[in-house]
């Protein structure tokens, strides 16, 4: 084999390796198996939503998370379906990620009871980013009003299922259903680079989750 052909083969091999290395890692956890979860401050019930496995977290005081065992998420795209309820101050539902421990992580969550509120201020509090333990919602609302929470681009049913896409990169962008524009764009508030992810519910809340897909590119 002459030198030119050797160089050509080396370049081809390098490009193939580079493409494989840069490809996103796709994670689709099996939500039908209880052993795939580790749950904090909640009990889970496994069920079915429109023919697909779903996870229900019960209602208790304080926040609760059911973590996906073995998950490790840095940057990429998280997509899932979620359903809360139209009960004021009793429906906070979303996704937690970059877990360092059970009280240190990032999260994006929703307040469905505000989705169709006639109060214009409450409608601005529909989607929220937090970074625990330092930056809970009340700290952010006090220090940075309107920066880490927002209204939705389109009206949603507060008692119905909706689809969420969270893009995590240098910024965190949150899309709902078929919206072309994000309802929330924020800059992360910490240096968490990677960690487990899981379904999250807030104080006094239950919630239902399905169709989790994670595209992880670190």
pLDDT at 25: 84
Alpha-carbon span 56 to 64, nearest angstrom:
12
Are the C-beta atoms of residues 214 and 195 closer than 8 Å to each other? Answer: no
pLDDT at 11: 37
Domains, the chain: 25-216 (2.60.120.560)
Are the C-beta atoms of residues 203 and 119 closer than 8 Å to each other? Answer: no
Q: Reduce the DSSP state of residue 89 to 3 states and report it.
A: coil
pLDDT at 51: 87
Angle at 71 between CA 28 and CA 212, to 5 degrees: 30
pTM above 0.85, yes or no: yes
Q: Reduce the DSSP state of residue 8 to 3 states and report it.
A: helix
- For residue 68, what are the CA distances in angstroms to 31, 86, 92, 214? 9, 27, 19, 11
pLDDT at 6: 44
pLDDT at 2: 54
Tokens 């990429």 belong to residue? 76
pLDDT at 10: 39
- What are the average pLDDT values for consecutive 10-residue runs of the chain, which has 218 residues? 46 37 74 97 95 96 97 96 97 98 97 96 97 98 98 96 97 97 97 95 98 90
pLDDT at 85: 98
pLDDT at 17: 36
H-type helices in 89-204, by residue range? 120-123, 137-143
Q: How many CA atoms lie within 13 A of 164 on its CB side?
A: 33
């Amino acid at each position: 084999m002459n030198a030119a052909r050797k160089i050509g083969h080396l370049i081809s091999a390098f490009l193939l390796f580079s493409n494989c290395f840069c490809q996103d890692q796709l994670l689709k956890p099996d939500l039908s198996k209880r052993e795939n979860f580790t749950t904090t401050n909640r009990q889970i019930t496994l069920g079915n939503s429109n023919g697909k496995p779903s996870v229900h977290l019960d209602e208790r005081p304080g926040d609760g998370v059911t973590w996906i065992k073995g998950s490790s998420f840095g940057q990429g795209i998280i997509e899932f379906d979620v359903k809360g309820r139209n009960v004021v101050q009793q429906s906070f539902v979303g996704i937690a990620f970059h877990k360092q421990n059970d009280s240190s992580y990032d999260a994006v969550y929703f307040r469905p009871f505000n989705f169709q509120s006639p109060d214009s201020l409450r409608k601005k509090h529909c989607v929220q980013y937090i970074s625990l333990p330092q930056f809970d919602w009340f700290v952010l609302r006090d220090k940075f009003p309107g920066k880490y929470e927002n209204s939705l681009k389109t009206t949603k049913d507060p008692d119905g299922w909706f689809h969420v896409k969270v893009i995590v990169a240098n910024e965190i962008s949150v899309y709902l259903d078929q919206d072309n524009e994000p309802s929330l764009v924020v800059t992360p508030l910490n240096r968490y680079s990677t960690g487990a992810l899981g379904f999250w519910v807030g104080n006094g809340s239950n919630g239902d989750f399905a169709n989790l897909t994670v595209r992880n590119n670190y």
